Amino acid sequence: MIRLILAAALAAPSVQAHPDVGKVPVQEGYGGAVATVDHDASKAAVAVLRRGGNAVDAAVAAGAVLGVTEPYSAGAAGGGFMVIYKRGKVHTIDGRETAPRAMTATSLEGIPFEEAVTSGLSAGVPGAVAQWDLALRRFGTLSLKQALKPAIEVAEKGFVVDQTFHNQTAANAARFKDIASTAKLYLPGGAPPPVGSVFRNPELAETYRQLAKHGPGWLYGGRLGAEIVATVKNPPVTPGATRNVRPGLMELSDLRAYRALMREPTRVDYKGLQVYGMAPPSSGGSTVGEALNILEALPKVGLHEYLEASRLAFADRNKYVGDVPGVPLEELLSDGFAKERSCLVGERAMPHPAPPGEPDGSYSGCPSPAGAAPEVTTEGPETTHLVVADRWGTVVAYNLTIESTGGNGIVVPGRGLLLNNELTDFTFGPAPGDPNLPGPGKRPRSSMAPTIVVKDGRPVLAVGTPGGSTIITTVLQILVNRYELGMSLPEALAAPRATQRNTAATQAEPEFLRLHRAELEARGHVFAENPEIGAATGLEFLGRGRIQAVAEPTRRGGGSALVVHPVP
C-alpha cells in the first residue's frame, strides 16, 4: 500500500518542483539530505525525498540523472557498489560489471592499454540497471519506472554545460570523432559543446522511457541488450578513421545471465566506531579497513603514518584481493594482522615496494614480509559518488561508474548511451597467480569504497569519492582528517590530498606539497604532483535529526549539497 501511495504521489516528479537554492558545497538541516557532484542530480534526489520517497529511491533517481549530466563517469551501461544502512543493519549491493563468458586470462594480454580502452573488448556486462532494480525492490518504495522520471526530464530538457563537461569532452574529442555515434552526440558541429550552452540527449531520454516501460529485461536479454551486443561486436567506427577499435566478446546470453548481488559488508572497529564498506570484488572496504586497523595499532597518527598504512594495505590488496575464491578477508581485517603489519611503520618511509604480509592467522613479533609486491593495476581515474539520507534514518553511499572518463568511447547508436570499459580494470598479464586476471563471468577488481560509519547502532557519517585506485586513499584520508586530526567534515573533504598506493612516488596535490613536502621528504617520502585527487561527497549526522551534507568546494567544478529542510 505504501508503495502504491508513493507511486501516485510521484506520478510526475519534476526536478523543478521546489525552489532552487543554488549550488553550494555544504548545507545543514533536517528531513533528509543529499550530496553529489552535480546540482541536477542533487535536486532530483531531494525532490524524491520531499515527495515521500526514501533514501534508496532518491539514490537511484540521482544515479540515473548522473547518467545524463555526468555521462563520462556513470550511466545505465555501467555499474557500481551501494552501501545501505536501514533499521540498524548495513547491506551492500554489488552491481559490478562482469566479463563475458568467452573471456579468458589471456584475452587482454599484449594489448596496449589505450587501445584496450577504446574497444568493444573492454565493455563489461552492465550492472547498473540490475542494481537499481534490486535496490528498489529490496529497500525502496518506488518502481524503477517512477525512479527514472527525473532523469528522463533532464535528458529531454537538457542541462547547462559547465567547464568540467566541456573539458572532459575536449579531452576525449580525438577518440570520440573516430566513433560515428559518439561524434554525432558529443561533438555537435565537430566540436565540444561550449560552456553555457544547453546539452540535450533525447535519445537517452527515449532509452530511459523504454526501460521504464519494459523493465530491466529490456536490457538483460531484450532489444536494448541486443543493440548493446551488436555495438560491442561491431563498433560504429567513423568511415576513414584509422584507430584500431577491436570488437568485443559479449553475447546476449551474458546479459541474460547477469545478476546484481547482495553481499555482506566489510566491517572494522575503529576508535569506538564501526566502519562498513564493500567486500570483494571491490578492494575498497578491505583496504580502507586494513589501513584503519594499522593506524589504530600505532602510538601516534599523522600524515607520515597515513601514507605508510596506505602503502602496506595496498601491498596486501594487490596480492590477495580479487573476484576469486578464498580471499582471506577475515584475516586481512583482523587486529592481529594489523598489529603485525604496523610494526613495519617507523620514523622513515619504507623502501619501495613494501612486500605483502602473511594473513595466515599466526601473528607474532615483526616477521619478514612474504615475497615480492605485485604491480599496481591501471585503473581509470573517474567514477562518481553520491550520498543520501532520509527522514526515517536510511542512509545510502553509492559509487557508480563507466570506468575511464568517457568509458570506452562508444555510444550505442540511437540510444544516447555510452558503454563502459570496466574490463580494463583486470590485470592484462602475463601474471601467474594474480587474483585480478580476467576470466569468464568474472568481475574485475575495483577500488570503489562507499563507506558508512556507525556508532552505538546509528550512522554518524557516510562518505565516498571517485578517483580509480585513489578512491581508497581519499576515503581513508578523509576519515583520518575527521577522526585523527580533528577536522570538521567540510574541512576533511576540502583538505589537500596525497595518495600512496605502494608506488615509488606518492602523488600529491600542489597545496599538499606546499604545506607538507619538506617535512615528509625529510622522513624519506618521494613525491610526484597530481593536480586533483578525487571529488568526494559525505554526510555527517549531528544529532537530533540534524544532517550536514558536504560536497567538494572546487574539485571537478565543485559539488552540490542539499537538505530537505535547510537551516541558516
Beta bridge partners of 277: 266
Cα separation, 205 vs 314, whole angstroms: 41
> Is the N-terminal amide bond of 281 cis, ω within 30° of 0?
yes
Question: Is 141 strand, coil or helix?
Answer: coil
Report the relative pairing of strands 198-199 and 159-160 from DSSP bridges: antiparallel
Return the closest-CA partner of residue 428 out of 364, 467, 374. Answer: 374
CA distance 378 to 236: 26
Per the annotation, the verdict on 383 as an active-site residue is yes
In 329-483, which ranges are continuous DSSP H helix? 329-332, 335-342, 470-483
The helix/strand/coil state of 446 is strand
Q: How far apart are CA 478 and CA 341, in angstroms?
A: 22
Q: 445-484: buried (b, 16+ CB within 10 Å) or exposed (e) per residue? A: bbbbbbbbbbeeeebbbbbbbbbbbbbbbbbbbbbbbbbb
What residues contact residue 321 under an 8 Å CB cut-off, 6+ apart?
280, 283, 286, 287, 327, 332, 435, 436, 445
Q: What are 308's three cell numbers? A: 605508510
Say how far apart CA 4 and CA 18 lie, in whole Å: 23
- 412 bridge partner residues: 417
State whether the Cα torsion 444-447-452-454 is positive or negative: positive
Check 92, 377, 383, 451 and give the catalytic one.
383
Other C-beta atoms closer than 10 Å to the C-beta of 379 total 22
Look at strands 26-36 and 527-529 and give their pairing. unpaired
Q: Which residues are catalytic?
A: 383
